[in-house]
């Protein structure tokens, strides 16, 4: 077997992810190569040229490991395999190699908080209290009154404890088919170190780590206290996340994993799903720049498209991170929904402005598949929904809306699957946005996104560009990243360009006519040279 090589640091010791754009690709929804209605690895290989053309640096694949799919791969039954419906290990090797030939790296999704109940570890653990793998999971006796061990609720709001006929409850912070691993057990650490090494040796450039702040649970299994906030990052269903996640011992896991990541050349990336409400607690997962190299910024993603709030979070994040560490920004993912809907209500001007922000902030940016064409959430009728976890949840926390197939073109099957094949989730309306419909149109959102990524590479380059908020008002945001000044108008009225803005390198406006000099159209953003910073450049 040939192991794909991922090329090294850019010579200067700068990690490749500083300045990079990572593309989150939901493998089941990107391209179906065998007409079974589900996307697969060969489909991804077939369309890698789209990503190379777009200009992304790396791809994060949603879970690819074998799984009974109660939670679409976030219930893993074999950590060193490939889900047969997605392909084979040889396909994944080829995908890594082919991406590498196009200058792109591949990250996998790693799920260390829980396994599937179909994992052989759990099958053994459930066989009896003396089983070898019993301590791999969190088991607890009933309370003296026969009740559950504590008040913890799972992610659907039901009790997080499942009674098992081996005479104890087991913990599942997600669904009963996703028993939580017991990170107090040293053998669990050894198993995951091996899993990391298995994939790193195959050329995987790193992992997105699922529920990264979850691993350890309180040793005494204390009750969670009541919640006095409506911030879903603080807690849900009336209980604050205190004892079932965010435990201090979890940091030790990442210090160990960082050493493993750093023992490879180039260093492998650990990008955590850090579900925490503020930048201080986010920064804690970077440690002294000796834990995760990147942690997702949920306060940013869940903020409104409000310049004051976004500017504040960016500044606080940069101030909180340890020296040498970089932030990571995203607006959409497979859980939160798509930013073109959440932030922008489908308004193309706002979508283009948000893309500009994502492309020009310092550090690492993550685009979700479809962001590049401004894809909005798809209204999936209840009868067609596939996300078991949210099917019967009150309040429409429907995650399927952001997991529908990539609309490549307007043909039957949408370029995702063959004509006449029913895709696993309904396609977006092909009259809406497609890749083919935008690709050769200079004013399209796809063309804009590509220009933005090219400009990012050319102007911000590699490394951590320094950042400064220049002017933040109720409706406008101007900031400097490295050599460029970005000015963005978040209102329906024209606004003036700040004094620091120089020659315009790129505008988000799709209008042909130039604006009046020094004026931003409603919801227009521009990237400019700093005024007085010298030589001109062609407009991108």
Contact between 64 and 41 under an 8 Å Cβ cutoff? The reply is yes
Measuring CA to CA, how many Å separate 334 from each of 340, 399, 458? 13, 7, 30
Asked if 111 is part of the footprint of ligand GLC (rule: CB under 6 A), the reply reads yes
Asked if 74 is part of the footprint of ligand GLC (rule: CB under 6 A), the reply reads yes
Active-site residue, 124 included: no
Asked if 122 is part of the footprint of ligand GLC (rule: CB under 6 A), the reply reads no
From residue 467 to residue 496, the character string flagging contacts with ligand GLC as x (rule: CB under 6 A) and all else as - is: ------------------------------
Asked if 174 is part of the footprint of ligand GLC (rule: CB under 6 A), the reply reads yes
Asked if 267 is part of the footprint of ligand GLC (rule: CB under 6 A), the reply reads no
Nearer residue to ligand GLC within complex by CB, 217 or 334: 334
Asked if 71 is part of the footprint of ligand GLC (rule: CB under 6 A), the reply reads yes
Torsion sign over Cα 57, 60, 65, 69:
negative
Angstrom distance (rounded) from CA 314 to CA 62: 26
Asked if 335 is part of the footprint of ligand GLC (rule: CB under 6 A), the reply reads yes
**Active-site residue, selected from the candidate residues 273, 377, 387, 524:** 273
Nearer residue to ligand GLC within complex by CB, 74 or 490: 74
Pairing of β 501-507 and β 525-530: antiparallel
Q: Buried (b) or exposed (e) across 470-508, using 16+ Cβ within 10 A?
A: bebeebbbbbbbbebbbbbbbeeeebebbebbbbbbbbb
Active-site residue, 503 included: no
Measuring CA to CA, how many Å separate 367 from each of 132, 270, 272, 374, 426? 42, 17, 16, 11, 22
Minimum Å gap between C-beta 90 and ligand GLC is 27
- 347: Cβ contacts below 8 Å, ≥ 6 apart: 523
Minimum Å gap between C-beta 172 and ligand GLC is 10
- The residue number whose beta carbon is nearest to ligand GLC equals 74
Angstrom distance (rounded) from CA 41 to CA 419: 20
Nearer residue to ligand GLC within complex by CB, 108 or 452: 108
- 221: Cβ contacts below 8 Å, ≥ 6 apart: 138, 140, 149, 150, 152, 243
Minimum Å gap between C-beta 111 and ligand GLC is 6
Measuring CA to CA, how many Å separate 480 from each of 363, 503, 526? 13, 14, 12
**Active-site residue, selected from the candidate residues 109, 210, 267, 371:** 210
Nearer residue to ligand GLC within complex by CB, 270 or 314: 270
- Which one of residues 27, 110, 160, 211 is an interface residue with ligand GLC (CB under 6 A)? 211
Residues lying near ligand GLC in the complex (CB under 6 A): 71, 74, 111, 174, 210-211, 273, 334-335, 389
Task: Please give the positions annotated as active site.
Answer: 210, 273
């Amino acid at each position: 077997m040939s192991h794909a090589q991922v090329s090294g640091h850019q010579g200067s010791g700068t990690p490749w992810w500083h300045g990079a754009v990572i593309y989150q690709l939901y493998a089941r929804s990107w391209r179906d190569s065998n007409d079974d209605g589900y996307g697969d690895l060969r489909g991804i290989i077939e369309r890698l040229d789209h990503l190379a053309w777009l200009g992304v640096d790396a791809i994060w694949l949603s879970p690819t490991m074998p799984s009974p799919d109660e939670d679409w791969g976030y219930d893993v039954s074999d950590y060193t395999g490939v889900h047969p419906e997605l392909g084979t290990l040889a396909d994944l090797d080829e995908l890594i190699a082919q991406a590498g030939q196009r200058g792109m790296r591949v990250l996998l999704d790693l799920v260390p908080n829980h396994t599937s109940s179909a994992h052989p570890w759990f099958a053994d653990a459930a066989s009896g209290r003396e089983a070898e793998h019993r301590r791999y999971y969190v088991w607890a006796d009933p309370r003296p009154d026969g009740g559950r061990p504590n008040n913890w609720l799972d992610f659907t709001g039901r009790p997080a404890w499942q009674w098992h006929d081996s005479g104890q409850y087991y913990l599942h912070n997600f669904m009963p088919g996703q028993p939580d691993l017991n990170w107090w057990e040293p053998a669990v650490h050894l198993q995951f170190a091996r899993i990391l090494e298995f994939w790193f040796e195959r050329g995987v450039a790193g992992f997105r780590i699922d529920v990264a702040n979850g691993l350890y649970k309180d040793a005494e299994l204390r009750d969670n206290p009541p919640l006095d906030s409506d911030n879903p990052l603080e807690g849900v269903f009336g209980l604050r996340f205190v004892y079932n996640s965010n435990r201090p011992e979890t940091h030790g896991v990442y210090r160990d994993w960082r050493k493993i990541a750093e023992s490879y050349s180039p260093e492998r990336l650990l990008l955590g799903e850090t579900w925490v409400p503020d930048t201080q607690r986010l920064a804690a997962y970077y440690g002294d720049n000796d834990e995760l190299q990147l942690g997702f910024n949920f306060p940013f993603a869940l903020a409104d498209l409000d310049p004051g709030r976004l500017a504040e979070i960016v500044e606080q994040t940069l101030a909180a991170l340890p020296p040498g560490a970089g932030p990571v920004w995203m607006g959409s993912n497979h859980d939160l929904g798509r930013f073109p809907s959440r932030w922008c209500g489908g308004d193309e001007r706002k979508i283009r402005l948000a893309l500009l922000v994502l492309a020009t902030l310092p550090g690492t940016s993550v685009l979700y598949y479809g962001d590049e064409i401004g894809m909005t959430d798809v209204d999936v009728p209840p009868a067609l929904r596939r996300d078991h976890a949210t099917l019967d949840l009150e309040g429409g926390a429907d995650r399927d809306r952001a997991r529908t197939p990539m609309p490549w073109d307007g043909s039957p099957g949408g370029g995702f699957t063959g004509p006449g094949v029913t895709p696993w989730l309904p396609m977006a309306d092909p009259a809406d946005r497609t890749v083919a419909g935008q690709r050769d149109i200079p004013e399209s959102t796809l063309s804009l996104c590509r220009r933005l990524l090219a400009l990012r590479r050319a102007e911000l380059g590699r490394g951590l560009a320094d950042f400064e908020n220049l002017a933040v008002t109720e409706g406008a945001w101007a900031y400097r990243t490295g050599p460029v000044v970005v000015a963005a108008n978040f209102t329906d009225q024209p606004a003036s360009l700040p004094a620091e803005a120089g020659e315009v390198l790129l505008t988000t406006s799709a209008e042909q006519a130039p604006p009046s000099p020094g004026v931003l159209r409603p919801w227009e953003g521009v990237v400019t040279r700093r005024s007085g910073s010298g030589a001109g450049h062609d407009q991108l």
